[in-house]
């Protein structure tokens, strides 16, 4: 027979990081924080599409460069670690919201950390996600138009006009896309309708990943893969070979991949849009969504690194020029492939932009108007939506003066809502030793990722 102390220790060790359905005994929360159970008409597949589209954005094209720092084996291991870490942090939000019967992340934080905690969370989401919206506008303009003085984007190249006529200018092209493509997607007031566009976005991303994989396969058969591709890392090339430099390189890769998996700000809106908005159903959406993301990221990261090795750019699409692709396929097919990748990437960012608007609108409405966006009347709802789109468009045209600041602040904000608050929720509400140790480790890792991102931004102009 085991001593009583040992039995108690085993019971504590068996307690999971994310608690079961029954909440620990607590005083009843204020009635204002409890919302009635609601459900939408979005299918499981639609929920997965919305989650994948929320996560998969511009961060995807930085993953090949991240793998070039660590080699394929370590890079894939870090991606797997990040996917697991993301599932743990997202499942904390989903399970706790179900236990406490709240339907927004901010209400969950407000219940446990008061109005100040909810305000910090909402500001973190608004700052990071709105910064990403601005960044997407810039990237789309870069891909389709290019920048001064060459203007060598897809549209000027096809038209043979590099003199920046008004109808091919960055402002006009971007405004036309926001009006004609993004506008109709922002009309629905439920995510079930947006899921139709998200399915298209996922198809575009899979097409992009398959195209890069196809090029890598062609290079493999022709013996033209990058000569310096490594399965394992070269310690001397990671941060100068010092222990601190190696650790910084590893944390940088984790930071980049964490950003690529970030979907925390739209978890509960997606859950509430499902036909079955139960905790189990949403966890199934999260698992499937993260698996699809991991598949896409692995295809892009390994294929891009295999093609370009140590010459991989921070944006792998910059490597995929018509001149390079024509060395692997006939010139006509090469240009069609490059343009197809540009269109697929831009289409994905446009749909992703819509889901970013959804998150910023919700949190900004609660901060400024004191009510969730879906509780606003039509005039207020669409006024906030229009304000966000127009403001992101205008700021995108002024990017040289504000983009570095947004990236610097946004990296810290991302860690705050994705890892800090989930860790704090466990530390406050869960009594198990193993759970508290795990939450502490996640909290410390988040702090280290934010520090590394700030360091990289200040010293190297890079960051998550």
Tokens of 430: 């869960």
pLDDT reading at 285 higher than 50: yes
* 3-state helix, strand and coil shares in percent for the chain, rounded to the nearest 5: 75, 0, 20
Which comes out higher in pLDDT, residue 409 or 234? 234
Sign, CA dihedral 276-282-284-286, equals positive
pLDDT reading at 380 higher than 60: yes
Tokens of 426: 């466990």
Inter-residue contact 92 to 105 (CB < 8 Å) = no
pLDDT per residue as tens digits for the range 261-284: 999 999 999 999 999 999 999 999
CA distances from 307 to 64, 215, 218, 237, 329 (A): 10, 8, 10, 19, 14
What's the mean pLDDT in 167-193? 94
Sign, CA dihedral 200-201-206-212, equals positive
Assign 332 a pLDDT band (cuts: 50, 70, 90).
confident
Inter-residue contact 377 to 420 (CB < 8 Å) = no
For residue 408, the model assigns a pLDDT of 61
Which comes out higher in pLDDT, residue 382 or 370? 382
* Nearest-angstrom CA–CA distance, 56 and 326: 28
Which comes out higher in pLDDT, residue 37 or 309? 309
pLDDT reading at 462 higher than 60: no
Give me the CATH code for the 58-460 domain, please.
1.20.1740.10
Inter-residue contact 250 to 70 (CB < 8 Å) = yes
For residue 39, the model assigns a pLDDT of 56
Assign 409 a pLDDT band (cuts: 50, 70, 90).
low
Tokens of 205: 């991303």
For residue 464, the model assigns a pLDDT of 40
What's the mean pLDDT in 23-50? 64
Q: Which DSSP string do the residues of 79-140 spell out, in sequence order?
A: HHHHHHHHHHHHHHHHHHHHHTT-SSHHHHHHHHHHHHHHHHHHHHHHHHHHHHHHHHHHHH
* Nearest-angstrom CA–CA distance, 279 and 48: 14
Round the CA-based radius of gyration of the chain to a whole number and report it. Answer: 23
* Nearest-angstrom CA–CA distance, 350 and 389: 12
* Nearest-angstrom CA–CA distance, 241 and 141: 38
* Nearest-angstrom CA–CA distance, 95 and 19: 7
Q: 149: cis peptide before it, omega within 30°?
A: yes
For residue 57, the model assigns a pLDDT of 87
SS3 375: helix
For residue 30, the model assigns a pLDDT of 43
Nearest to 459 by CA among 290, 239, 253, 284: 239
Q: Which residues contact 32 (CB under 8 A, 6 or more apart)?
A: none
List the chain domain ranges.
58-460
For residue 239, the model assigns a pLDDT of 64
What's the mean pLDDT in 312-336? 90
What is the average pLDDT value for the chain, to the nearest integer? 86
HSE-CB of 452 using CA atoms within 13 angstroms: 23
* Nearest-angstrom CA–CA distance, 423 and 448: 14
pLDDT reading at 22 higher than 80: no
| Block residue for tokens 């005039």 | 379
∠ Cα 331 336 337 (to 5°): 95
Tokens of 305: 């690194």
* Nearest-angstrom CA–CA distance, 243 and 51: 37
Element (H, E) at 434: helix 433-460
Nearest to 115 by CA among 32, 25, 24, 36: 32
Q: Roughly what angle, to the nearest 10 degrees, separates helices 105-144 and 170-177? A: 130
For residue 162, the model assigns a pLDDT of 87
Q: Count other C-beta atoms under 10 Å from residue 375's C-beta.
A: 13
What's the mean pLDDT in 139-166? 90
What's the mean pLDDT in 367-386? 91
| Block residue for tokens 């140590």 | 310
What's the mean pLDDT in 57-77? 89
Which comes out higher in pLDDT, residue 246 or 17? 246
For residue 85, the model assigns a pLDDT of 94
Q: Roughly what angle, to the nearest 10 degrees, separates helices 243-261 and 279-308? A: 130
Inter-residue contact 393 to 446 (CB < 8 Å) = no
For residue 247, the model assigns a pLDDT of 79
* Nearest-angstrom CA–CA distance, 438 and 444: 10
Nearest to 384 by CA among 42, 53, 103, 126: 126
Instruction: Give phi and psi for 30, each to the nearest 5.
Output: -55, 140
* Nearest-angstrom CA–CA distance, 321 and 344: 15
């Amino acid at each position: 027979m085991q001593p009583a102390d040992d039995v108690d220790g085993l019971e504590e060790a068996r307690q999971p990081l994310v608690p079961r359905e029954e909440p620990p005994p607590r005083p009843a929360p204020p009635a204002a924080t409890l919302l009635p159970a609601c459900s939408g008409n979005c299918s499981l597949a639609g929920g997965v599409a919305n989650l994948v589209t929320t996560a998969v954005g511009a961060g995807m094209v930085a993953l090949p460069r991240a793998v070039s720092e660590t080699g394929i084996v370590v890079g894939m291991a870090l991606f797997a670690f990040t996917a697991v870490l993301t599932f743990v942090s997202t499942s904390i939000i989903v399970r706790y919201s179900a236990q406490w019967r709240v339907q927004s992340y901010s209400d969950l934080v407000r219940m446990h950390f008061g109005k100040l905690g909810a305000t910090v969370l909402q500001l973190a989401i608004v700052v990071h996600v709105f910064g990403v919206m601005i960044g997407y506008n810039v990237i789309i303009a870069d891909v389709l138009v290019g920048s001064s003085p060459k203007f060598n984007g897809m549209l000027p190249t096809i038209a043979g006009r590099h003199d920046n006529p008004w109808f091919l200018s960055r402002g006009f092209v971007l405004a036309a896309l926001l009006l004609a493509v993004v506008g109709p997607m922002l009309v629905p007031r439920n995510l079930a309708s947006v899921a139709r566009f998200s399915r298209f976005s996922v198809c575009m991303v899979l097409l992009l990943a398959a195209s890069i994989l196809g090029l890598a396969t062609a290079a493999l058969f022709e013996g033209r893969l990058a000569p310096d591709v490594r399965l394992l890392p070269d310690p001397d090339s990671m941060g100068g070979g010092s222990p601190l430099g190696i650790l910084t390189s590893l944390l940088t890769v984790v930071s980049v991949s964490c950003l690529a998996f970030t979907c925390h700000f739209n978890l509960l809106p997606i859950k509430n849009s499902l036909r079955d908005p139960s905790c189990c159903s949403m966890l199934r959406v999260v698992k499937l969504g993260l698996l699809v993301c991991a598949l896409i990221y692995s295809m892009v990261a390994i294929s891009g690194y295999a093609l370009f090795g140590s010459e991989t750019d921070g944006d792998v699409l910059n490597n995929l020029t018509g001149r390079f692709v024509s060395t692997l396929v006939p010139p006509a097919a090469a240009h069609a492939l490059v343009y197809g990748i540009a269109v697929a990437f831009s289409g994905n960012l446009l749909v992703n932009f819509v889901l970013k608007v959804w998150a910023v609108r919700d949190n900004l409405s609660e901060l400024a108007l004191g009510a969730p966006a879906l509780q606003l009347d039509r005039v207020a709802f669409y006024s906030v939506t229009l304000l966000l789109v127009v403001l992101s468009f205008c700021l995108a045209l002024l990017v040289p003066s504000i983009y570095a600041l947004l990236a610097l602040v946004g990296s810290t904000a991302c860690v705050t809502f994705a890892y800090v608050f989930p860790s704090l929720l466990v530390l406050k509400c869960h009594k198990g030793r193993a759970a508290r140790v795990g939450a502490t480790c996640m909290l410390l890792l988040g702090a280290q990722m934010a520090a590394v991102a700030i360091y990289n931004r200040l010293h190297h102009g890079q960051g998550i």
